[in-house]
């Protein structure tokens, strides 16, 4: 959840406004301001706009485009999905067509 939050803030705020309206990035978003200290926000924005971060981001984006079958199972994974289906349907063994 924390990783998703940071990713969403990065894409929806930092990359959205870094060229068009950078003054927005000077302060935490008002909806999160009570929980994010200005010092922490400044460090977060600085890190996400650094050259090292941009390089790492491009490398990972390149790797993601090479995926033949992009992963879309969240943290549950196939093993967790099997367990969930077995628990929900109170049975043993799952037909692979259900996955």
- Give the lowest-confidence range in 4-8, 32-36, 38-42, 73-77: 73-77
- 44 and 82 part of one domain: no
58 DSSP 8-state letter = H
Q: Are 76 and 84 in contact (CB under 8 A)?
A: yes
* DSSP run (H or E) holding 68: none
Q: Are 58 and 50 in contact (CB under 8 A)?
A: no
- 6 and 32 part of one domain: yes
Q: What does the pLDDT read at residue 18?
A: 86
Q: Kindly report the number of other CB atoms within 10 A of residue 22's CB atom.
A: 12
Cα 64 to Cα 90: distance, rounded to the nearest angstrom: 37
Cα 30 to Cα 34: distance, rounded to the nearest angstrom: 8
Residue 81 has pLDDT above 70, yes or no: yes
Q: Kindly report the number of other CB atoms within 10 A of residue 13's CB atom.
A: 17
Range(s) of the domain holding residue 51: 1-68
Tens-digit pLDDT profile for residues 11-60: 888 888 888 888 888 888 888 888 999 999 999 999 999 999 999 999 99
- 52 and 80 part of one domain: no
- Give the lowest-confidence range in 52-61, 72-81, 87-96: 87-96
Q: What does the pLDDT read at residue 93?
A: 60
- 26 and 62 part of one domain: yes
């Amino acid at each position: 959840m924390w990783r998703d939050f940071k990713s969403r803030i990065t894409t929806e705020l930092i990359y959205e406004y870094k060229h068009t309206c950078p003054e927005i990035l000077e302060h935490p978003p008002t909806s999160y301001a009570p929980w994010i200290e200005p010092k922490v926000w400044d460090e977060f924005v600085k890190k996400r706009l650094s050259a090292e971060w941009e390089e790492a981001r491009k490398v990972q984006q390149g790797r993601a485009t090479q995926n033949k079958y992009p992963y879309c199972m969240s943290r549950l994974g196939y093993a967790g999905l099997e367990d969930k289906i077995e628990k929900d349907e109170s049975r043993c063994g799952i037909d692979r067509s259900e996955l």
